[in-house]
Amino acid sequence: MAYSTKEKKAAYDRVRNVERRTKLFRQGQLAQNTTIGDPLPSPAIVLPIKAPKHGLKIAVIPDCQVKPGVSIEHLAHAGKYIAAKRPDVVVCIGDFADLPSLSAWDKPGSLNAEGRRYKADLDAVYRAMDALMTPIAKAKGYQPLLIETDGNHEDRITRAVGADPRLVGTISTADLRYEEYGWRVIPYLQPVIIGGVAFSHFFPAGVMGRPISSPDAILAKLHMSAFAGHMQGRQVAYARRADGHEMTAIISGSFYQHTEDYLSPLANQHWRGMWMLHEVKDGSFDEMALSLNYLKRRFG
């Protein structure tokens, strides 16, 4: 389903309003003594997207955590799948980039941090985004709405600038070039609602803002359908509203081929893949999980 320029503008209005108020912060150009206050005008951004009678089709790409030296063939497979199935919306749930050079866990000078470079991190992101977007760009007459919700790894740039004022104006989230690839970027932990489903890298709870760690808890706390990344593997929960509409919550944060050094061999055996949400309407949808193995077999 292709959208006219007018329809896209209407859908993006709310996102642009938020971005105007957070632009300086997100680009790392705030003066050291500037107070931002609360830049978010509402708890969530609602995108009014024109949908077919049966509902939207939304592809969701979980955390890719792209970094130098890891395989990215699966992203080309995902791009081919999206181009073939033509979902109305593609949501990248955040942590597309890993940015290990900015990791707060591995201190500069430590063995783990040796050889890491910010430029190398960015180059890896560009190669990965090219692999994903090239098949989509080549699909004639296909212009999906592309939404990216920043994750804690993208937020590493903002935190690095906040921790070292000398970086102001030197590095910024704009370095990732997501917007140049056509994505509308949603600020970190700002939920965006599409077709009655809330999307965010994760949904915080409590005073400390820790991630809600189970889909059942998401439904209990948010009272609506939702999709989050951040946690490896896949978890799905179902509930029903008082009006009879179904609610579904999914937590799935692993769409990569590599293993993570900080995880044990057993923990590294988590499920990896992407999702297609069919007939998304008023929070109801039918979910379809697509494993890395399926994508490779079908589109490799």
pLDDT, tens only, 11-35: 444 444 434 434 433 444 333 333 3
Percent above pLDDT 90 for the chain:
70
Work out the average pLDDT over 270-274: 96
Pairing mode of beta strands 234-240, 246-252: antiparallel
Give the mean model confidence (pLDDT) for residues 151-171. 93
Task: Render pLDDT for 180-213 as a digit per residue (tens, 0 to 9).
Answer: 999 999 999 999 999 999 999 999 988 788 999 9
Please tell me the predicted confidence (pLDDT) of residue 40.
Answer: 39
CA nearest to 123, candidates 75, 179, 177: 177
Q: What is the pLDDT of residue 24?
A: 37
Query: What is the pLDDT confidence band of residue 50, given thresholds at 50, 70 and 90?
Result: confident
Q: The pTM is what?
A: 0.84
DSSP letter at 102 equals G
At residue 42, the pLDDT reads: 59
Give the tens place of pLDDT for each residue, 225-266: 999 999 999 999 999 999 888 999 999 999 999 988 777 888
**Separation between Cα atoms, residue 275 and residue 58, nearest integer Å:** 8
Taking the C-alpha atoms of residue 291 and residue 255, their distance in angstroms, rounded to an integer, is: 9
Write the CB contacts of 136 (distance below 8 Å, at least 6 apart in sequence): 79, 82, 83, 90, 142, 144
